[in-house]
Amino acid sequence: MIEAIKLDDLMKRIRMPWSPLDVATVNDQVVRMALLDGEFHWHKHKNEDELFYVLRGHIVIKLKDRREVELREGELTVIPKDVEHCPKSVKPSYCLLFEPRALNTRGD
């Protein structure tokens, strides 16, 4: 059966920051929701791009040798494969991550 996914309900289920919850699968891609709270670690994905979409909150994605990207509610960016990055939240924030299913969210 095809059903609507209530993102607000899923936000209530996430307790641990930086522990994405799979929301939906589209072909070989997965949509994940994560609570970003504080700073993650520097990492990169050798073979996959990663899309960040801010549902609630305000985040900054630090980039090696590049200007950081600041995202507020309703904004998104794509981090190309092999770009070292470090996401951090300005305040606790909920993001959707659009990624290949094979992507290791912790980095390569």
Contacts of 62 (CB under 8 A, 6+ apart): 42, 68, 85, 86, 87, 88
What does the alpha-carbon distance between residue 98 and residue 32 come to, in Å, rounded to a whole number? Answer: 6
Residue pLDDT, tens place only, 18-43: 999 999 999 999 999 999 999 999 99
Q: Please provide the CATH number assigned to the domain covering 7-100.
A: 2.60.120.10
Residue pLDDT, tens place only, 47-99: 889 999 999 999 999 999 889 999 999 999 999 999 999 999 999 999 999 98
Assign 105 a pLDDT band (cuts: 50, 70, 90).
low
Q: What pLDDT, on a 0 to 100 scale, did the predictor assign at position 106? A: 59
Q: What pLDDT, on a 0 to 100 scale, did the predictor assign at position 102? A: 73
What are the extents of the domains in the chain? 7-100
What does the alpha-carbon distance between residue 1 and residue 22 come to, in Å, rounded to a whole number? Answer: 18
Cα-Cα end-to-end distance for the chain? 36
